[in-house]
Structure 1
Amino acid sequence: MRNRTYLLWSLLLGLLFMTYACSDDTPGGGSGGSSVMSVDWPEGEDVPLEAQMGAVQELDFHADQNWTTSVSQDWLEVEPSSGGAGDYTLKLSVIKPNDTGDVRTATLSLISGSTPLRITIIQEEYIRVEKETYNVPAEGGNLDINFFTTIDQGTPDNPNFNVYSSGADWITDRQAAATRADEDTYNVQLRVLPNEGKQSRTTQFYFVKEPFDNDHANNYILATATIVQAGQGSGTSESYEEDGKVVVLQEHTAGEGIPLVIMGDGFLDTDITSGYYEQVMDKAVEHLFTEHPISEMAEYFDIYCVQVVSPNGNFGVGEENYGETALGCWMETGTSTGVGGNDETVQQYAQKVEGIDLDDTQVVVILNSDAYKGTNYNYWYTDGTPSNFSIAYFPIIGNLESEDFRRVLVHETVGHGIGKLHDEYSYEENPLMPDDEIAQTQQQQEDFGWWLNVDFTDDEQAVLWSPFLFDPRYDDQGLGIFEGACTYMSGAYRSTEESMMNGNTMGFNAPSRRALYNNIIKRGEGRTPTLEEFIDFDQQTYVKPTQTRAAAPSRPFGRPRTVRLDRPLGR
C-alpha cells in the first residue's frame, strides 16, 4: 500500500541572485525621505514552498526605514512581520498544509512608504484524489483509488509521499504499493472484505508528504479518500409506519424533569421492527449515566426515544453536505471528527414528544455507523440569551459494547451538552489561543455560565477553580493549573492533567463536576446551589476513578460548536 517516492527541489544552486528592489520618494515608515527595500531572490521568480505544514523558506531582506508585512492567504506566515531600518532574514512558514488538490499561491507584501514590494509565494506540490468518497456494498469486492500528484517519484528508501490507511482490518492490499498509471497518476489497488455487521463502516486512506511525522499527522496530509461500506442492514425502507413514534424510556422522580430526546439516523424500517433500534437506544441511555455526578442524578431526567425511519443509510460526506438519511447526517473527512445533520429536521422529530420545550431539551442523535466521530452543538439567540437546547451527534463507534462509544457519548452529551463544558485537550498545530477567541469564551462564561472548566489565568487566587485548590478535601485529586485547553497549547488552562474532557479518561474533574451539578439543579429545581452544597454532595457520592475502565486516552474531538438563533426553535 505504501508507494515510495521522493521530491528533489531544484534550488538553482550556483545561480547569481538578483535583487527585487522598491523605492519611494515620499516619506514613509515614520522616517521621511526616500524608502528603499530589497530582497535577495532571482528577479521575476516565484518563491517556492513545500506542501506540508511547517515547510519553511528564508529570504534576505533590507530596508532603510520602518517596514511592515502582510500576506494575502491564511496558510502563510512571515516572521518578523515588521521592523526598522536594517538587514533581516524573513522566515516564510506554511501553517496549513496544501490539501486543496491544486497549486496554490499567496502574495507577500513588504510595506514601507506608499509603494509596497510584492512577492508571489507558490506551492506547486499537491496530491489530488480522483474521488473523495467510495461507497462499497456489504459483500465487498475490489476497489481502486486513483490519484494524481505533482510530487516527483523517489526510491523505496527515500520516498517523498506515501499512502497510509487508518488501520481497518477489513481492507487488504491487492498490490504491495501504489501502481503508477502514467507520469503523474497512480492507483492503490484494494480488496474490501464482506461486512457481516448491521451497521455501515468507514475508514480513510491518507496521502501524505514524506518524511511523515505520525505525532503531527495533520501537518502532512495532502489528500484523503474515505471508504464507506454498507452493513447487512443496508438497503431501503419500505414502510414508514413506525416513523415518528415516541417511546418513554424514563420519567423523572426528582425536580421538574429535564427532557432528553434520543433518536437515530441511518436506521431502516427493519432495524426498528427487529428490535435493533431499541437495543441501540437502550444501550445509549445505559452509557449516559456511567460517570459522576450524573450517575447520581438520573432521577432528574425525562428520557424519550423517537423512532426515525431513514430511506437508506447513505450519510453525507463533508461538512453540511446533507446525506440521504432521514436526519440528513453528514461526517467530515480525513482525521476530522466533525459530524452533524439537519438541525431543523432534528427539532421537528424532537417535537414529536407532546408538550416538549425545545429550549430546555438535550437531543442525542446516533448515526448507524462505526466511524469515530462526535460533535455537540449548543445554541444561543441573537439577543444574547443562551438556550439549554443542544444536539449531540455521534455514531455507534466500533460497536454497542465499545468503550469508545461510551466515552464519546459521555464527552459530547454529558460534558458539552448538559454541562456546557469546554475541551481540555490541545493540538500542537494550535500553539496559542487567539485573543478574540479568549474574549468570546470569557464573555460566554460571564453571560451564559458556559465553559467553567477552563480559564485564562494561572493565578491560583483568581482561577475559576481556586476554592478547590485550597480545600484539603480535594488534595488527592491532582488539581492544579495546567496550560493547554480549548484545543490550544497555550493561553488557556485546565485543572487536571487528564479528564473526561481531555482524553476521555479519569472521569470529570472537580470544576466539571461542579458545573454539571449546578446545571442539573438549576434546570431541575430552578435554583442555583451554593459551592458548599455541591461539595457536601460531591464528598458523599464521588468515588475516585481508576484506569480500569479507560486505560488509554481516546483521540480528541473538535471543539463544541455554538449556533446563533435568529428565531425560536422549531419554527
Structure 2
Amino acid sequence: MKINLYILSSLLISLVILSCKKEVTPTLSLSANQADIANVDGKTEISVTSNSNWTATISDIWCTITPKSGNGNGVITITASNNYSSEARTASLQVVCQELKKTTVINQSFSQLTVDSENLIFVKEAGTKSMSILSNTQWQLDMSSTASWLTANITSGQGNGSVSFTVQANTAGPARSTTVIIKYGISQKVITISQNKSQNTAPAAPATLTPADRATNAKTIPAFTWTASLDPENDPVTYTVSYTKDNINWTELTTTATLLYLKSHLSESTLYSWKVKATDSEGASSTSAVATFTTGLKSGYADGEYRIHMNSTAGVNGKAAEILFLGDGYTAADFQEGGLFEQHITEGIDHFFSIEPYKSYKNYFRVYKQAAYSNDSGVTQVDKSITKSTAFSSSFNGGSSISANNDEVFRYAKMIPGVDDARLKKMLVILVINQDRYAGTTFMWSDGTAVALCPVSKSASDGSKFKNVIWHEAGGHGFGGLGDEYINFTNQTLPAANKTEAINWSSYGFFANIEVTSDSTAVKWKHFFKRQGYDEKLGGRVGIYQGAYYYSFGAWRPEVSSCMIHNEQYYNAPSREAMVRKILTNSGYTYDLDEFIRLDVQKMPVNAVMVYTKSVNPLLFVPLAPPVFIRR
C-alpha cells in the first residue's frame, strides 16, 4: 500500500514538473538572401541555423539540393545544370521550420564571350597575332571555312583564354580574308581575318579642275574639284586637298569625294597654289600637278558668318527688335552669293514682314542671317526612315512636329558679337529648314527665348505654304508669344491641368490671345470692348468666343478667326497688341494703347483672307504642331 502511494506521488510530481516546463521557440535563418552560381559546373552552399527540424525545397528542376531536411544547424548544397542558353535564370530555395519560412534566390548567369578584336589584319608577310577571349563558358573554334593559309594554336577552351592565329606569306597577289566562328552555348561570334595583298599599285594621279589653273577673280570660298582616280586593284581611294599662298605652309583637307568646299574665306586678291593627292587603302598614293589661282573680292558665306539683312531706323540709341535667320540642311554650295540659302532666307524675311503689325513696324527691326554648313542637303525625316547629317540635327518626327539641337542653334547665334543668353531672351531665332514639307514647331522658354522651326514648304494648298508656317510659328508663337486657337479635341472641355498651364504661361507674359474665363470684366482683351472698330458690337471683331487652346469648351479666343487657327494672313487685335508692345519695348519705347490704336492699320482681315477662311474645311485642315514650352 505504501509502495502504491509512493508511486502515485512520484507520478503527480512528474506531471507537475512537466506542466511547468516551457516549450522551445523554433528559430531559423539562412546565410544569404541571394546566391550566384556559375553557368558551368555551378555549385554553392547555404548554411542553415536552426534549433529544430526543417525541410528544404527548390523551385526549379535545373538545380538540385542536398540534404532536403535536417535538425538543428546544417549546410545545404545546391548543384546547377550547365546553362548554355542566352538568358540568365533564377530559382528559389525555401527552408521551412514549423511555421517559419526562409528563402534564398539562386541566380545563374548565361553563357557569355567577348574578344579583344573581331577583325585581325595581317601584312603580306607571314606572321602571328593573338586574340584574347573573356568567357564564363566552354567555347570552340569552327575553322571549317578557313583557307589553308591560316592556322590556330588551339581550337577549344573554357573560360578566359588566348588564341594565336598564324598566316603564311601572301605571294598570290590579291588581298585575302576568311572568317573564324567561335561557338559558345547556343551563341556564336564571327571573327574576320584578312591579309594584305602581296603587291599594290598606286591609284592614278587626279587632275585638278576648279579653280582652273591660272584662274583669276576666283571665289574666296572656292569649290575644289578634280577628276576621280582609278585604282588598279579597286582599293578605296581618299583624296587630300592641299593649298598654300606661300608654297611653304600647306593646309590639308581629306575627303572621299571629288568636291570639297572650304568653311572659311581665303584672303582677297591673293595668289594660291593647290594640288590633290589620291591614296589607296594600302597607303600608295599619287599626286596631281600643282595649279594656281588668284582670288577676287570676298564673296559667299563662311560657316558661322553672319550679315545684317536690315537694320532698325526707329529704335532708341541703337535698340531694336531683333530676329536671327539660320538655315539647316544647306550644304556649302548653297552659301554662294545669291545661292539657295540667300534665296530661302530672303523669302522668309519677306513673308514675316508681309503681315500686320510687322509690316507697319518693319523699321523697328534688326534682322540677321547666318550661315551654318551641313554635310547633307535636306534634313532627317524619322517617320520616313531618312537620315541626314546637318548642322542642327533637325528632324521631322511625324505629323507636323519637328525637333532640332537648340543648344547648337544658340552656339551659332553667340558667334555674333554681343549676343549672349540675356540678348537671346529678346531675339527671335527662326531656323529655316531646307525641306519641302508642311510642318512647324516653336520652342518657347519662359524667359522669352524662342526658336521657330520653319520648313520651306512648297505646298500648293492654302494655309500650308512656307509663308503660312512663318506667320504662325515665327510671327505668332515665336515673337508674339501666342497660344494656338485651333481645336483638336472636339466637344471636350479643357482639363484642369491644361487650364493651370495656360494660367502659368499667361503669368510669364504669353497667351495674349487665350483666356480660361468668359467673364467680360476679366478677359485680357477687355480694354477693346466699347471701342469703335474693335468691339464686335461697334463694327469690330473683338468678343469672347468659346473654343481655343485645343479644346471646344473651357477656353476662349477674342475673334472668330485668326492666324493661330488656320494660318491665315491676319492676327487678331490682342495678338497685334502683344506684338507691338514687344516691338516698342525692345526698341526702347513705352507702350501706349491709344497710340497703338491710332497706328493699327488693319483691324480685320482683307476680303481675300476672309474668303480663304470661309473656304477652309476644318475636318481636312492639318494644324501645325503645338509649341514646346520650357521653363527656366
TM range (shorter): 0.5 to 0.7
Report the 3-state secondary structure (helix = DSSP H, G, I; strand = E; otherwise coil) of the residue aligned with 1:309.
coil
Question: In the alignment, is residue 532 of structure 1 matched against residue 589 of structure 2?
Answer: no
Q: CA deviation digits over 1:135-186, x for unaligned, max 9?
A: xxxxxxxxxxxxxxxxxxxxxxxxxxxxxxxxxxxxxxxxxxxxxxxxxxxx
Structure 2 counterpart SS, 1:431? strand
Residue deviations 1:11-67 (CA, integer Å, cap 9, x gap): xxxxxxxxxxxxxxxxxxxxxxxxxxxxxxxxxxxxxxxxxxxxxxxxxxxxxxxxx
Whole-angstrom CA distance in 1 between matches of 2:330 and 2:460: 15
Over 3 Å counting, the alpha-carbon distance change for 1:347 and 1:464 in structure 2 is same
Which residue pairs with 1:482 in the alignment?
545
Taking structure 1 as reference, are residues 401 and 496 closer, same or farther at Cα in structure 2, changes over 3 Å only? closer
* Aligned equivalents of 2:470, 2:348: Cα separation in 1: 8
1:354 positional shift: 1.3
Q: Are residue 366 (structure 1) and residue 429 (structure 2) matched?
A: no
Match of 1:288 in 2: 352
Instruction: Name the counterpart of 2:506.
Output: 445
Question: What is the identity, as a one-letter code, of the residue corresponding to 2:430?
Answer: V
Q: CA deviation at 1:322?
A: 8.7
The match for 2:418 among 330, 338, 355 is: 355
Candidates 560, 563, 566, aligned match of 2:630: 563
Report whether the alignment pairs 1:305 with 2:394: no
CA deviation profile, 1:462-518 (whole Å, cap 9, x unmatched):
222222232223233332211111111211101112111111225011111111111
Name the counterpart of 2:607.
546
State the partner residue of 1:523.
586
1:470 matched to 2:530: yes
Give, in whole Å, the separation in 2 of the partners of 1:506 and 1:284: 14
Q: What amino acid does structure 2 have at the position aligned with 1:300? A: Y
SS state at 1:369 partner: coil
State the shift of 1:410 in Å.
1.1
Alpha-carbon offset, residue 401 of structure 1: 12
Deviations 1:208-254 (A, max 9, x none): xxxxxxxxxxxxxxxxxxxxxxxxxx999744232111121011111
Q: CA deviation at 1:338?
A: 0.9
Which secondary structure state, in structure 2, belongs to the residue aligned with residue 292 of structure 1? coil
Q: CA deviation at 1:547?
A: 2.2
Confirm whether residue 418 of structure 1 aligns to residue 479 of structure 2: yes
**Contact between 1:237 and 1:268, CA under 8 Å: does it hold in 2?**
no
CA distance in 2, matches of 1:236, 1:492: 56
The aligned runs of 1:79-94 (5 Å cut-off) are none
Q: Secondary structure at the match of 2:587?
A: helix
Q: d(CA) in 1 for partners of 2:609 and 2:631?
A: 40
1:325 to 390, 398, 402: 390
Question: Matched residue of 1:346: which SS?
Answer: helix
Aligned-partner Cα distance in 2 for 1:512–1:423: 11
Q: Which has the higher contact order (CA 8 A, sep 6+)?
A: 1
Count of matched residue positions in the alignment of Structure 1 and Structure 2: 320
Question: CA deviation digits over 1:347-376, x for unaligned, max 9?
Answer: 111112111222221101011111111111
Contiguous gaps of at least 5 residues in structure 1: 1-233, 381-385, 566-571
In structure 2, the partner of 1:240 is 263
Say which of 389, 393, 397 aligns to 2:449: 389
Residue identity opposite 1:490 in structure 2? F
Residue 566 of structure 2 aligns to a residue in which SS? coil
**Residues 305 and 338 of structure 1, relative CA distance in 2, 3 Å threshold:** same
SS at match of 2:473: helix
Distance 2:378 2:328 in 1: 10
Deviation at 1:341, TM superposition (A): 0.4
Q: Distance in 2 between matches of 1:338 and 1:460?
A: 35
Instruction: Render the CA deviation track for 1:256-288: whole Å, top value 9, x for unaligned.
Output: 112211011111111222611111111111111
Question: Closer, same or farther in 2 for the Cα pair 1:410/1:506, shift >3 Å?
Answer: closer
Give the TM-score of the pair, scaled to structure 1: 0.52
Letter in 2 for 1:525: G
* Distance in 2 between residues matched to 1:308 and 1:505, nearest whole Å: 31
1:378 aligned onto 2:444: yes
SS at match of 1:498: coil
Superposition map of 1:423-442 within 5 A: 423-428=484-489, 431-442=492-503
- For 1:508 and 1:303, the matched residues in 2 are separated by 21
Gaps of 5+ in 2: 1-256, 265-301
Letter in 1 for 2:345: M
Please state whether the residue corresponding to 1:296 is helix, strand or coil. Answer: coil
Alignment of 1:74-473 (within 5 A): 238-241=261-264, 242-255=302-315, 256-273=319-336, 275-313=339-377, 315-318=379-382, 324-333=389-398, 336-356=399-419, 357-380=423-446, 386=447, 388-398=448-458, 404-428=465-489, 431-446=492-507, 448-473=508-533
Residue type of the alignment partner of 1:311 = N
Letter in 2 for 1:373: A
C-alpha distance in 1 between matches for 2:622 and 2:524:
27
Distance in 2 (CA, whole Å) between partners of 1:266 and 1:236 is 18
Q: 1:530 to 1:342 in 2, by over 3 A?
A: same
1:387-443 Cα distance to aligned partner (Å, 9 max, x none): x32100021011799862111101111111111111111113682211122112112
Tell me the SS of whatever aligns to 1:304: strand
Write the letter of the residue equivalent to 2:369: C
Larger Rg: 2
TM-score by length of 2: 0.48
Compared with structure 1, are the counterparts of its residues 263 and 549 closer, same or farther at alpha carbon in structure 2 (3 Å cutoff)? Answer: farther
Percent identical across equivalent pairs? 26
How far, CA to CA, are the matches of 1:286 and 1:420 in structure 2?
Answer: 21
Q: How far did residue 535 of structure 1 move?
A: 1.6
2:569/2:609 contact within 8 Å kept = no
